[in-house]
């Protein structure tokens, strides 16, 4: 998989646009069972990355992920900053000194997901971003094993991410502020899962144009 870090500015812009376009909907989701500040916190991190677009595009993926992770840790408030920051820093460590291809990327993504599980003391099925990120990571690992064609893989990633978001609707939240509402969280999509899906779709859209 030869996808250049030169695409990072376009990816960040696409993420910014989709989060902005869906901000009202996601904030409403977050206000129903969370703190209501998820989008605001996420946008702080995105704004910080936008200021670093040119510098990030000059790095290889490993160093870019490291820089992204450290930026998100320092700029995003709430749990999201710590979790996404850890995610990217772990990906960077996992892929260091390796020739980037789909297999290496898939392994790095899986390591990143595991780091979120450890940092957040959470797992799939607890109504969090993991319900999107973990299935997508599995999808990539399977695609690497099957030597899947990129167009089919990108389509599959979007499908898996969308299914992951929808799966959170009938879950009972056991992490974060939502956990205090118990059974009342059923019937609501998780805001963190939704923004994870939106960002994945944005990145996929940029790759599809190439």
pLDDT of residue 33: 86
- Residue 170's CATH number: 1.25.40.340
DSSP-H helix ranges across the chain: 8-21, 23-33, 38-50, 53-57, 61-75, 78-95, 102-120, 130-146, 150-167, 191-209
Predicted model pTM: 0.95
What is the rounded distance in angstroms from the CA atom of residue 167 to the CA atom of residue 136? 13
Task: Give CA torsion, residues 155, 1, 109, 103, to 10 deg.
Answer: 110
Q: Structural domain of residue 81, as residue ranges? A: 5-209
pLDDT of residue 60: 96
What is the rounded distance in angstroms from the CA atom of residue 44 to the CA atom of residue 179? 25
Contact 81, 45 (CB under 8 A): yes
One pLDDT digit (tens) per residue for the chain, 210 residues: 579 999 999 999 999 999 999 999 999 999 998 889 999 999 999 999 999 999 999 999 999 999 999 999 999 877 889 999 999 999 999 999 999 999 999 999 999 999 999 999 999 999 999 999 999 999 999 999 999 999 999 999 999 999 999 999 999 988 777 777 778 789 999 999 999 999 999 999 999 998
Task: Please count the structural domains in the chain.
Answer: 1
What is the rounded distance in angstroms from the CA atom of residue 191 to the CA atom of residue 203? 19
pLDDT of residue 62: 98
């Amino acid at each position: 998989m030869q996808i250049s870090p030169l695409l990072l500015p376009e990816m960040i812009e696409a993420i910014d646009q989709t989060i902005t376009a869906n901000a009202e909907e996601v904030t409403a989701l977050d206000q129903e069972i969370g703190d209501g500040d998820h989008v605001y916190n996420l946008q702080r991190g995105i704004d910080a990355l936008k200021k670093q677009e040119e510098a990030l595009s000059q790095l290889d993926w490993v160093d870019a992920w490291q820089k992204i992770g450290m930026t998100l840790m320092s700029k995003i408030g709430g749990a999201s900053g710590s979790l996404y920051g850890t995610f990217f820093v772990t990906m960077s460590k996992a892929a260091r000194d390796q020739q980037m291809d789909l297999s290496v990327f898939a392994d790095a993504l899986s390591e990143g997901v595991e780091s979120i599980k450890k940092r957040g003391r959470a797992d799939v099925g607890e109504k969090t971003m993991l319900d999107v990120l973990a299935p997508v990571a599995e999808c990539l690992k399977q695609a690497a094993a099957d030597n899947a064609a990129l167009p089919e893989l990108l389509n599959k990633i979007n499908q898996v991410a969308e299914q992951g978001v929808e799966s959170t609707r009938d879950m009972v939240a056991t992490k974060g502020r939502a956990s205090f509402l118990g059974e009342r969280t059923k019937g609501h999509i998780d805001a963190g899962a939704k923004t994870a899906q939106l960002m994945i779709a944005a990145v996929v859209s940029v790759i599809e144009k190439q």
